[in-house]
Amino acid sequence: MDTSPMWYSCNCGGLLQLVQDFRALDVELLKRQFHERRAERHTLMASGVWRYKELIAPDLPTPYIVSRNEGNTGLYQSERVRSFTGVRQLWLKAQSENPSGSFKDNGMTAAVSHGRSLGYRKFACTSTGNTSSSLAIYAATAGLTSVVLVPDRDVALNKVLQTLAYGAQVRTFTGTYDDGIRWLDKYAEAEGLYVCNSVNPYRIEGQKSIVFELAQDLNWTLPDWIVLPGGALSNASALGKGLHDLYTLGFIDKLPRVAVIQAEGASPFHQMIASGGDALTPEVKPSTVASALNIGNPPSWRKARDVLHLTNGVTAAVSDNEIMEAKLLIDRSGIGAEPASAAAVAGLRKLVNEGAIHSEETAACIVTGHLLKDSDALRTYLDLPESIQHVRLQS
Ligand SMILES: *Cc1c(COP(=O)(O)O)cnc(C)c1O
């Protein structure tokens, strides 16, 4: 079957974004429908992404949609984590509860479904791990081929194993995530590959559902701040686009402020914002314990910058030690997270300490990935084998 070509970027050097026509939408009716759909179990509307189809991909024919009931993730409060950050009230949105264990599923279901609607059978991404395991799940679910490019170092082994287990073709290369993106940019079309990295605008549309669900769970209000980790900056871009939709349509009447947290060793976006600059200088050798944030040249930085402008947002960078300190607390709270997710909590604490966020304010942190995603990180603080007590069983 012939495929229609897919475009990801514009001649201006920026990424494409989808502009939806929402003029015919009735917000009160949609709120009722979104509420009723929460009772669905076995239809497409049981998905925490496709429940909001009217706001995500209204024209995508449903037979092409590949779904694993993604989204529908828990919203939790932990007194321990709250007091660590210092805000008055803290919500943790556990995107780690997605089918592949990270928020990437919210966007991946939309991208793979769209690629299918164009006739593609082969899907590709480059990834520090979570994008590839997410793509592998959706390709496997629909009986499609997935090809993933994984850097040969600084990647969490669990994520690669997970990707292989779902049947993806894994190709490893010497270089970073950024080199992988450049390769796909050049060769994907010729190889007939539909690219599922966050340069794909459907990923962004699908990821908007994270803030839709957060707002719906809180009865169409949002906390003062939404705090999330930033690597490629797709999640920050999607969050901002979702907020823009909710606000302009009238689902919410006040925009929260957004805080994007990067790891110190991979923080080109934070450095650009902190220095008041308007052009991103890539980090040539990114390095952080938070493998999902190990990105030196984030493709979505322009979109993320616009999100900060829209929401009067801020950025921060946290050290690997701060990340691991926050991770230990999230793990002990019973929610658990991989290091990249803990960066959001560490960053919130830092911003409160610096006075950028007031202790009387409220916040939600997006817990982006599951604790089991990175067992190397667990080993570094769990002190094995000393932390396991050997006992003699009496017969
Ligand atoms: C991808 C990812 C991030 C970073 O999100 P971006 O959209 O790349 O900024 C953070 N945490 C986890 C667990 C991820 O998988």
CATH number for the domain including 264? 3.40.50.1100
**Percent of the residues in the chain that have a pLDDT greater than 70, as a whole number:** 97
* Coil, helix or strand at residue 394: coil
Q: Provide the pLDDT for residue 303.
A: 92
Mean pLDDT across 180-202: 92
- Smallest CA-to-CA distance from 339 within 292, 277, 282 is with 292
Asked if residues 254 and 243 have their Cβ atoms less than 8 Å apart, the reply is no
Higher-scoring residue by pLDDT: 380, 76: 76
Q: What's the confidence (pLDDT) of residue 127?
A: 87
Q: How far is the CA of 166 from the centre of ligand 1 (A)?
A: 20
Span 119-131, average pLDDT: 93
Mean pLDDT, rounded, of the chain? 94
Collapsing DSSP states into helix, strand and coil, what is residue 377?
A: helix
Report if residue 142 sits inside a domain: no
The confidence score (pLDDT) of residue 22 equals 80
Whether 107 has a pLDDT exceeding 80, the answer reads yes
Region 109-116: mean pLDDT is: 98
Measured in Å, residue 36 CA sits from the centre of ligand 1 at 31
pLDDT for 155 equals 78
pLDDT at 1: 47
**Closest ligand 1 atom number to CA of residue 368:** 13
d(CA 190, CA 329): 47
Distance from the alpha carbon of residue 368 to the mean position of ligand 1, in angstroms: 6
**For residue 353, is it within any domain?**
yes
With a cut of 70, say whether residue 34 has pLDDT above it. Answer: yes
Is pLDDT of 163 > 70? Answer: yes
Domain with 364, as residue range(s), is 75-101+207-377
Q: What is the mean pLDDT of residues 204-233?
A: 97
Indicate which atom in ligand 1 lies nearest the CA of residue 235: 7
**For the residues 208-224, what does the mean pLDDT come to?**
98
Of 70, 200, 208, 235, best ligand 1 pocket probe by most atoms within 8 Å of the beta carbon: 235
Pocket of ligand 1 (CB under 6 A): 102, 104, 130, 198, 229-236, 292-293, 338, 340-341, 368-369
Q: Give the lowest-confidence range in 94-98, 303-307, 315-319, 385-389.
A: 385-389
Least confident piece of the model among 217-221, 235-239, 283-287: 283-287
Residue 282 domain flag: yes
- As a whole number, mean pLDDT of residues 26-46 equals 96
pLDDT for the residue 356? 97
Nearest CA to ligand 1 atom 1: 292
Number of domains in the chain: 1
Q: What is the pLDDT of residue 178?
A: 82
Establish if 286 belongs to a structural domain: yes
Q: Is 327 inside any structural domain? A: yes
In a domain? residue 22: no
Whether residue 124 lies inside any domain: the answer is no
Nearest to 351 by CA among 84, 92, 75, 91: 84
Which atom of ligand 1 is the closest one to the Cα of 230?
9
pLDDT band for 190, please (50, 70, 90 cuts): very high
Amino acid 233: pLDDT: 96
What percentage of the chain exceeds 90 in pLDDT?
Answer: 83
Please tell me the distance from the alpha carbon of residue 193 to that of residue 5, in angstroms, as a whole number: 10
Which DSSP string corresponds to 240-278?
HHHHHHHHHHTS-SSPPEEEEEEEGGG-HHHHHHHTT-S
Give residue 177's pLDDT band: very low, low, confident or very high (50, 70, 90). Answer: confident
Kindly report the protein residue whose alpha carbon is nearest to atom 2 of ligand 1: 292
CB count in 10 Å sphere of residue 361: 16
- How many CA within 13 A on the CB side of residue 148? 31
Lowest mean pLDDT among 108-112, 198-202, 326-330: 198-202
Ligand 1 atom, smallest distance to 341 CA:
11
Band (pLDDT 50/70/90 cuts) for residue 380 is: confident
Taking residues 46-51, what's their average pLDDT? 98
Q: Which residues are annotated as a binding site for pyridoxal 5'-phosphate?
A: 130, 231-235, 368
Output the pLDDT for position 2: 59
Distance CA 80, CA 90 (A): 10
Give residue 112 CA to ligand 1 midpoint distance, Å: 18
In-domain check, residue 283: yes
